[in-house]
Amino acid sequence: MLCLTVGEVVHGGWCVARMEDTGWVVFVRHCLPGERIRAQVTQVTSRFARAEAIEILSPSPERVQPPCPYAGPGRCGGCDWQHASLPAQRGLKAAVVRQQLSRLAGLDREVDVEVVPGADSGLGWRTTVSFAVDSDGRAGLRRHRSREVLPVSECLIAHPLVTAAGVTGRRWPGAEAVEVSAVPETGERGIVLAGRSPAALAARPELADLPAAAADSVLLEGRSGRRTPVRGRGYLTRTAAGRNWRVSLGGFWQVHPGAADLLADAVLAALEPRPGESALDLYCGAGLFTGVLARAVGAGGTVVGIEEDAGAVRDARHNLREWPWARVHHGDAGAVLRRLGVGTAAMAVLDPPRTGAARPVVDRLCDPDTPLRAIAYVSCDPATLARDLRLLLAGGWRLDGLRAFDAFPMTHHVECLAVLARAG
């Protein structure tokens, strides 16, 4: 047991404290900067220790009672900041973004984390939730940094439509995970059941007994990633940027109900596409940014999307049918760019996975012979964003703008949009 004074927040939902006698670094959860705490050590390495605050001796004025009974030391690992007020959460996220930009990219920049419309309380916003299943077939959420499943009755950050599917009130023998997705605008709902053997899952009577009200569509997914529809269309119809978008169950879409619209508008405002221009959409997913760019450049322009996931490519090609000057290539972004080149593209948008953009992609964007004038980089991880910004700045770009959005309330995650222009 340690008695500590908590220091600054760091990436991942931790705060830093130091042992008073040795200066040993301790990363602590469930605390806030400035608090005096008692902490239980959970891990010791050669360089630092990890711990959880189990008693708050001197609380921060920003501390609140966590609304969820599963939030706290040793419990669910999904939410990091339920013990902080919403304004304080946004302040913590802004501090982390500033810290990562300074440490990894050498940038000193003020950051304001903006509210995303649609979840004023910070609860009930998550439109896709993946529940883990324990050996008894009970659905729950994993404890922090653990494979152990904590059975829950309800996840408070889940959208009410997700909760209404009743996943935690049923048994799922043979399944390893149950992912529920919902569309607030239509009430549509889908379930992806993942397990070692989709055939064995399909034969389970529990699946046959799943009421139609629980899900409009159900998919089975094996460890190979192959998905087999067993009910419904196998996709959901999402709404953003004034139109509908087909997104396969298990495919990527922003989980906050207000995020897709907000990001589409922000990317357009950042890039300022003009009629007749050409654009790239790297890691294009179901084609949201490809579509809004295609609508902006018009039939005299071109938009090229690149996506590695085959299901997302099918969705994107379906979604972009009304804009024949937009096309989508299937493959690794770096490999496709190496084959096609940038062409005449004046702008590029990137929305890579949490691991960030692949180095060959960054290198291609830094080629001084390309006609690119602007880049919009959408990121859900400030550390990999800062890493890639460092490379882009060294490659002849300058950071013209940075916005951050609280698209994941109660968690440490934050969505960022970096806008870059050619240096000079």
**Residues tagged active-site:** 380
End-to-end CA distance of the chain: 55
Q: Distance (Å, rounded) from C-alpha 122 to C-alpha 107?
A: 30
C-alpha dihedral (289, 382, 117, 89), degrees to nearest 10: 170
Tokens of 13: 């939902």
Q: Tell me the three state secondary structure of residue 35.
A: coil
Backbone φ, ψ for residue 369 (5° rounding) = -85, -5
Give the strands of the sheet with 128-133, arranged side by side: 149-151, 139-142, 128-133, 177-182, 189-194, 217-221, 227-231
3-state SS, 290-334, equals: HHHHHHHHCCCCEEEEEECCHHHHHHHHHHCCCCCCEEEEECCHH
Q: Tell me the three state secondary structure of residue 340.
A: helix
Q: Which amino acid is at 152?
A: V
Q: Are 118 and 262 in contact (CB under 8 A)?
A: no
Tokens 């989709």 correspond to 198
Q: Which of left, alpha, beta for 382 (phi over 0: left; psi -120 to 50: alpha)?
A: alpha
Which residues, in sequence order, are CB contacts of 419 under 8 Å at separation 6+? 270, 271, 374, 375, 376, 377, 399, 400, 401, 402
Q: How many CB atoms lie within 10 A of CB 214?
A: 17
Q: How many CB atoms lie within 10 A of CB 47?
A: 7
Q: Are 131 and 181 in contact (CB under 8 A)?
A: no
Tokens 């953003």 correspond to 240
